[in-house]
Structure 1
Amino acid sequence: MSLYERLIFFLSFLQMRTKKILAVIYILLVIVMAMATILGKYTSLDFVSDNIFGAWWFCLLWAAGTATGIVYFIQRKIRRPIVVMLHLSFVIILSGALLTHLTAHRGMIHVRQGKITQTYITKEGNEARLPFEILLNKFNVTYHAGNMAAMDYASHITIIHNGKREQYQVSMNNIYSGYGTRLYQSSYDEDLKGSYLSVNSDPYGIPVTYTGYALLFFSLIAMLIEPKGKFRRLLRKEAVMALMLIAGYTSVHAQPSLTRQTADEFGKVLIVYNGRICPLETYAIDFTKKLYGKKTYKDFTPCQVLTGFMFWGDEWMKEPILRLKGSELRSKLNMNEYIAPINLFGKQGYILGPYLQDAQNQQDDNISKQLLDTDDKMMLLMDLTQAKSLKIFPYIEKNGMVDWFSPSDRFPASMPKAQQQYIRSILPLAGQLTRQGKTDMVNELILKLRKYQYRYGGNTIPSDKAIRAEQIYNKYPFTTILFIFNLTAGLLSVLFFTNRKRYKLFTGLMVISWLFLTFTMALRWIINGTIPLANGYETMLLLSWIIMLVSIPATRKMQLMTTFGLLMSGFMLLVSHLGEMDPSITPRMPVLNSPLLSIHVSIIMISYALLSLTFICAVAYFCTYNSKREGIKSVNRQLTSLSQIFLYPAITTLGLGIFIGAIWANISWGNYWGWDPKETWALITFMIYAIPIHSNSLSSFRNPKKYHLFMLLSFLSILMTYFGVNYILGGMHSYA
């Protein structure tokens, strides 16, 4: 056989096997990425970035997949412009990533105030020259109210090039770009006279990648609005429907405490907590939940519990309010689940003391975690009894800055002696008056303390609107009520499905639930001053909110979307409740103060909400698969179309969300893709859910049973992306 004949034979063989080869490469990429994130848990992100994601064979695997995909695409003779643009965008993005990998230069420059620098250290540890000189004029940190949490970090620099001097400020989400080089704020010296700036030079990869992103954005949206596209054809079907089957009273001990009214007044005093100024009531709620595991203890409000420990410490230390979470620890200490804090002190001193050193060294062990958790609770108590945590006294420094102090803090020399004496004496005086039963005088002291705060708190005092919003938020457990309400209403709605008139009542209940959840999220927004998207708890609220928002209008043509919306949103709220996600409201990290955060997280959450509905469709399909009732059989036949109606916009929003996140990362950190576990699993999820869209090539997905089985299993990738990364893998995007 001649060389030419051999070449023809090879090409023919390749044409026949292209789809199988492409499938193998695709699966290998998903497996490698998934395994690498797990390996990174036990090594480091840098290790897997260098040895897996940055390895030549991984790049070759992507290149082979791209080349095979192009060959298969040509073989299929696909001519639809939108489909061509969509797949072309991925080729361009991968080409940009390759250019970045091969040509980009990154490193770190350390600048000290008043010193000119022209070199930086590369990632490999070598010294390289900048195309300009840089002079640090000053570095400063801007703080949130109370001087507790950093709001922003800023390096004020001078760029010197050919004798020309230009002034710039480099801060979080505010980069310097010039002469083919970009500078990003990274870190700083403890004396605030030096700064570390990340250096990135990527003149070829970024424009190519951004071109791919722009093409991707356009083609994903066009895929949804294309008149002849599959998504529009699915929407034109008229009869699409959906289906889914989806602690006791204890008598109160006669513990001394403030009256409820006086304790509530004390709860209106402001405190620096979690890096922000908030009512003391908020701290009291978290304090009680931390100790006891619940918001209230017996008949005592959180403010009564807090002030009980403040003013009657000895008595309350004997109260069985401290919860030992783990059975292993309870067995080791031979104690019940709820104990009095005083029980942890014996003749030999602090009972946990001998175990803490070993627990610090073995933090992955369950009993070690339980020991450290209990010790944290005891430290919380000690800080309160010593008034260390009570930063409730503001003072205006000479430079105009307002700082907040606790009675045990060291005061600045400029603070008048009389003011220092007031800060140290008012709480002991309040304690003395409470023990004497002089409630009126205690109320008067609280009123004077609040007046003191407003006099010296300056611009750090939250607005009356924010304080009122927080008081309402603290008073009513909206999310707990809503998850019970939604799940109950969702289950009851199944019983009334055949009665259309009564079933509409549940749609109205979902609208009411959505309005209350909207109100809850608005309260959090008013309290913190930023859109509530910063942690796992808030994103679960958003996910529930989106599910109901999608379900309400969909009920007009798909009646059982009411059941869908109520049950799925209730489930999301329940997960946030049972998963012990932290509902605390805290200031954002400086890098999160970007408008791209809201866009990125919102779009990603929309995608997850829609994909969760495809999962419910799959559950409903298999629950009704063998039904002999004609009405149920009719609904069962329509579930595939409904699932695909959710799938297409879900893929679109997931794709947009991932790559908007990449753009944000590039703006903030100088690297649009860092193989962090969260972004890697988001890409894996995107790749998995993109598979059933290719039903023309993969005929198995035209079979409803196989399609729904795939969607059922695919939901595991969502769980891994959202929960697995947060609670198991960790990483920069972890916010459990």
Structure 2
Amino acid sequence: IYNDRVVPFNTLARDFVLKLTGKPSYGGMTPEQVIGGWLLRPEVWQNEPMIYIKNEALRHLLHLKTPYARLADLFDGEKYRLQKYWKEEQGHRQKMTSLEKAIVEADEKVGLILMLQNGTLIRPLPEDGSVEPISDTKIQAELLYNHIPFSKLLFMFNLTVGLLAFFRLLYRGLRRSSTSGSSGRITVFASFSHLTDVFFPVALYAAFLFQLFGYSLRWYIGGRIPLGNGYETMQFMALCALFLACLFRRRFPFMVPFGFLLSGFALLVSYLGQMNPQITPLMPVLVSPWLSMHVSLIMMSYALFAFMMLNGILALCLRRSVRMLMLLSRLLLYPAAFFLGAGIFLGAVWANVSWGRYWAWDPKEVWALITFMVYGVAFHARSLRIFRRPLFFHIYMIVAFLTVLMTYFGVNYILGGMHSYANA
């Protein structure tokens, strides 16, 4: 039993090794072999440098020459060294410093090893039959999911293909602009019709289906919609970006590189977040259908805002098509703002169900509202005439996306708040 569900032993072992080392394996051994070594020969494995210490200041305190510490390095005889450093660094500050966070993270890794040695990490199925074992089909599905690094493969593929498609798009567009003359009537859509050839559409559909397969596997394995943490929400955002690119690619061919790039960066973020998995149960407040609807709408809006930002960058590169691209961004602005507003509303309903209040002025709530208001200003082109200028509109869309980045990333890593756990 792991994370309140029955799982193959490979899942627990893989997360254990990934948590300690930042890698899915160690020394060419499988995760099961690593855990077996810790259980059978702890006196040997306590001298293995496999506890990853990212923070340079903590490495200096521990006198480490490499980023990897041994379990023995964290003890001075019977005395636990991290506890001493934690007491020295901890003051009356409400926010932890980077060194304190590194100490807590290292302490979690030590705690996992001690839980393994004490027999509390591995919880076998009870013999009284009170917990039903999972089916062979689900076991094979989870082993397949553990074996295939979906995020790693997809972010490398999507970013590579996306950059090739984007530079090809710019090259063709600039070349056409330089040869067509000022009297040319060729729009950006006709200029980039080459992107509807065989390779890029096929690659786009293949990436979408592969991403959908991995996401569906996670849904099937977990028995819930995968929207409970930052890793899963970035996976969903990448899926939304690929879906929108597939949906609009015939009408707007330049959406193909946008879809690749946006999904690639989202998957890169999720891949980096997976390097420090949480070996803890999902908080009960996160197991709610309101959460699924709330996060789904919010991430859909973020995907559309990101498309508008990339659209603005393209418009700055290809001035001849700036007005046509503005019309597309205005078209995307309506569903994007609607999804964000609906997501904020459903989030308030979820908060009332979970905590008994609709709004608490949490940093995440405040910045979501700021984002909604910033994009809402762009609707008032009739009273704010400056928004009728295509160049200003695109620059505004690019700058406005900073509020999205602040809402999703900045709040979690700078301001904190109640929403921080959702993206751990």
- TM-score band, normalised by shorter chain: 0.7 to 0.9
- Once the two structures are superposed, what CA deviation does each residue of 1:55-106 show, in whole Å capped at 9, x if it has no partner? xxxxxxxxxxxxxxxxxxxxxxxxxxxxxxxxxxxxxxxxxxxxxxxxxxxx
Asked if 1:320 corresponds to 2:49, the answer is yes
Q: 1:472 is matched with which residue: 144, 152, 159?
A: 144
**1:678 touches 1:725 (CA, 8 Å); kept in 2?**
yes
Asked if 1:557 corresponds to 2:247, the answer is no
Q: 2:406 is matched with which residue: 680, 704, 720?
A: 720
Asked if 1:697 corresponds to 2:391, the answer is no
Comparing 667-676 with 693-702, which one deviates more in the overlay?
A: 667-676
Return the alpha-carbon distance in structure 1 between the equivalents of residues 74 and 297 of structure 2: 49
Q: Match for residue 183 of structure 2?
A: none
**2:196 touches 2:253 (CA, 8 Å); kept in 1?**
no
**Paired residue type of 1:706:** F
Against the structure 1 CA distance between its residues 492 and 338, is the aligned structure 2 distance closer, same or farther, given a 3 Å change threshold?
A: same
**Paired residue type of 2:86:** L
Alignment map for 1:176-575 (pairs within 5 Å): 272-336=1-65, 337-346=67-76, 349-361=79-91, 364-396=96-128, 456=129, 458-497=130-169, 498=172, 500=194, 503-575=197-269
**Paired residue type of 1:364:** M
**1:496 touches 1:503 (CA, 8 Å); kept in 2?**
no
Return the alpha-carbon distance in structure 2 between the equivalents of residues 568 and 671 of structure 1: 35
Return the alpha-carbon distance in structure 2 between the equivalents of residues 473 and 566 of structure 1: 22
The Cα of 1:567 is off from its aligned counterpart by: 0.6
Q: 2:293 is matched with which residue: 599, 622, 626?
A: 599
Q: Match for residue 649 of structure 1?
A: 335
Return the alpha-carbon distance in structure 2 between the equivalents of residues 578 and 723 of structure 1: 13
Secondary structure at the counterpart of residue 7 of structure 2: strand
Larger Rg: 1
TM-score of the superposed pair, with normalisation by structure 1 = 0.51
The Cα of 1:693 is off from its aligned counterpart by: 1.1
Against the structure 1 CA distance between its residues 665 and 329, is the aligned structure 2 distance closer, same or farther, given a 3 Å change threshold?
A: closer
Return the alpha-carbon distance in structure 1 between the equivalents of residues 298 and 84 of structure 2: 47
**Paired residue type of 2:51:** L
Return the alpha-carbon distance in structure 2 between the equivalents of residues 711 and 353 of structure 1: 48
The Cα of 1:662 is off from its aligned counterpart by: 2.7
- Once the two structures are superposed, what CA deviation does each residue of 1:622-647 show, in whole Å capped at 9, x if it has no partner? 3x1xxxxxxx4444442212221221
Q: Give RMSD over aligned pairs.
A: 2.4
Return the alpha-carbon distance in structure 2 between the equivalents of residues 701 and 369 of structure 1: 44
- Once the two structures are superposed, what CA deviation does each residue of 1:193-222 show, in whole Å capped at 9, x if it has no partner? xxxxxxxxxxxxxxxxxxxxxxxxxxxxxx
Q: What residue ranges of structure 2 are gaps of 5+ in the alignment?
A: 173-192
The Cα of 1:340 is off from its aligned counterpart by: 2.5
Against the structure 1 CA distance between its residues 586 and 312, is the aligned structure 2 distance closer, same or farther, given a 3 Å change threshold?
A: closer
Secondary structure at the counterpart of residue 126 of structure 2: strand
**2:18 touches 2:277 (CA, 8 Å); kept in 1?**
no
Return the alpha-carbon distance in structure 1 between the equivalents of residues 154 and 321 of structure 2: 28
Secondary structure at the counterpart of residue 733 of structure 1: helix
The Cα of 1:691 is off from its aligned counterpart by: 0.5
The Cα of 1:541 is off from its aligned counterpart by: 0.8
More strand by share: 1
Return the alpha-carbon distance in structure 2 between the equivalents of residues 330 and 669 of structure 1: 40
**1:496 touches 1:502 (CA, 8 Å); kept in 2?**
no
**Paired residue type of 2:289:** P
Against the structure 1 CA distance between its residues 722 and 305, is the aligned structure 2 distance closer, same or farther, given a 3 Å change threshold?
A: same
**Paired residue type of 1:383:** M
Q: Match for residue 185 of structure 2?
A: none
Secondary structure at the counterpart of residue 534 of structure 1: coil
**2:18 touches 2:275 (CA, 8 Å); kept in 1?**
no
Q: Match for residue 272 of structure 2?
A: 578
**Paired residue type of 2:98:** N
Q: Match for residue 324 of structure 2?
A: 638
The Cα of 1:577 is off from its aligned counterpart by: 2.2
- Once the two structures are superposed, what CA deviation does each residue of 1:153-181 show, in whole Å capped at 9, x if it has no partner? xxxxxxxxxxxxxxxxxxxxxxxxxxxxx
The Cα of 1:465 is off from its aligned counterpart by: 3.2
TM-score of the superposed pair, with normalisation by structure 2 = 0.86
Return the alpha-carbon distance in structure 1 between the equivalents of residues 400 and 207 of structure 2: 29
Q: Match for residue 182 of structure 1?
A: none
Return the alpha-carbon distance in structure 1 between the equivalents of residues 205 and 341 of structure 2: 29
Return the alpha-carbon distance in structure 2 between the equivalents of residues 375 and 659 of structure 1: 38
Q: What residue ranges of structure 1 are gaps of 5+ in the alignment?
A: 1-271, 397-455, 625-631
**Paired residue type of 2:138:** A
Return the alpha-carbon distance in structure 2 between the equivalents of residues 605 and 674 of structure 1: 21
Q: Match for residue 676 of structure 1?
A: 362
The Cα of 1:667 is off from its aligned counterpart by: 4.3
**1:359 touches 1:372 (CA, 8 Å); kept in 2?**
no
**1:725 touches 1:731 (CA, 8 Å); kept in 2?**
yes
